[in-house]
Structure 1
Amino acid sequence: MSPDKRHEVTHKRRAEAYGVAHVAYSRTAILVRWGYSCAYCGGHATHLDHVVPLSKGGEDVESNILPACQHCNLSKGAKTLAEWAETFGPDPTLAAGSGYPF
């Protein structure tokens, strides 16, 4: 099974469990479109992040997904951008010179 297909199956199940919409998207296409750059700190992105977490009603659709580095994605967890910015936010040392998007 391809990585995109495995991702699709997993995220469809997660969206159903939270009772939110799911529309198929390509993980690889999102990462390529962003040049594998973290939307939050500019570091190397290997994860995808739901801007509005599924647990808070965010949909599993491409318009709610951004590429993220491991550090940013794991520190954000199920927080909204506002909650995350108050507590952690991106680590500017990971991508010197990158600006904060919020």
Structure 2
Amino acid sequence: MRTLVLNAGYEPLAVVSFKRALVLVMNEKATVVEHTETDPVWGTRRSYDRPAVIILTRYVRVPGGRRVPVTRRGVLRRDNHRCGYCGKTASTIDHVLPRSRGGADSWENLVACCLRCNNIKSDRTPQEMNWELRFTPHPPRGGQWTVRGTERTDPRWEPYLALAA
């Protein structure tokens, strides 16, 4: 079971384990905003709701400009596992400008790609192949990208993640 942690200003910060969230609540560093419908947890002095979303009691300053690191999984997720050239299901990623020609490992130069298109394209550019990208690649934006662990969300988190988008 996982719990969404909100900053004192309702900004999503992270997803933590149920145990970590419960420790924050028990030490009065956070309060439960949303809880699960299952049985409460009994402490030595009282019972606690099982937290689904908690909010910190004090504001935590977050370093500015959280950059999303470029990963294979991230590129596939950004492109919804669809090939940037033909639109079929993608299982690999492709450098629009090949690395052999100075192409970087950046959000703007990587797209999800099906195995067939990736093999046909090889180390050529889309212009040389007379291919057109279905979209312009860009860095991902929104709370679900800057908050670690939100790939698999709980329905109770949606209103709080929507605020960050």
* In structure 1, distance between residues paired with 2:113 and 2:79: 10
Which structure carries more strand by proportion? Answer: 2
TM value normalised by structure 2: 0.37
Q: Secondary structure at the match of 2:94?
A: strand
Which structure carries more helix by proportion? Answer: 1
Match of 2:133 in 1: 101
Shift of 1:35: 1.1
**Equivalenced residues, count:** 66
**Is structure 2 residue 27 aligned with structure 1 residue 27?**
no
- In percent, how many aligned pairs have the same letter? 35
**Is structure 2 residue 125 aligned with structure 1 residue 80?**
yes
* In structure 2, distance between residues paired with 1:73 and 1:60: 16
What are the superposed Cα offsets for residues 28-87 of structure 1, whole Å, 9 maximum, x if unpaired?
Answer: 1111121100010000100100000011111122221000000111100100111122xx
TM value normalised by structure 1: 0.58
Counting only pairs closer than 5 Å after superposition, residues 1-80 of structure 1 correspond to structure 2 as 25-80=70-125
Task: List gaps (5 residues or longer) in structure 1.
Answer: 1-23, 90-99
Q: Secondary structure at the match of 1:45?
A: coil
Whose relative contact order is higher, 1 or 2, with alpha carbons under 8 Å and at least 6 apart? 1
Q: Which amino acid aligns with 2:123?
A: A
Question: Aligned-pair RMSD on alpha carbons?
Answer: 1.7
Over 3 Å counting, the alpha-carbon distance change for 1:41 and 1:55 in structure 2 is same
Match of 2:64 in 1: none
Q: Which amino acid aligns with 1:101?
A: L
* In structure 2, distance between residues paired with 1:59 and 1:101: 17
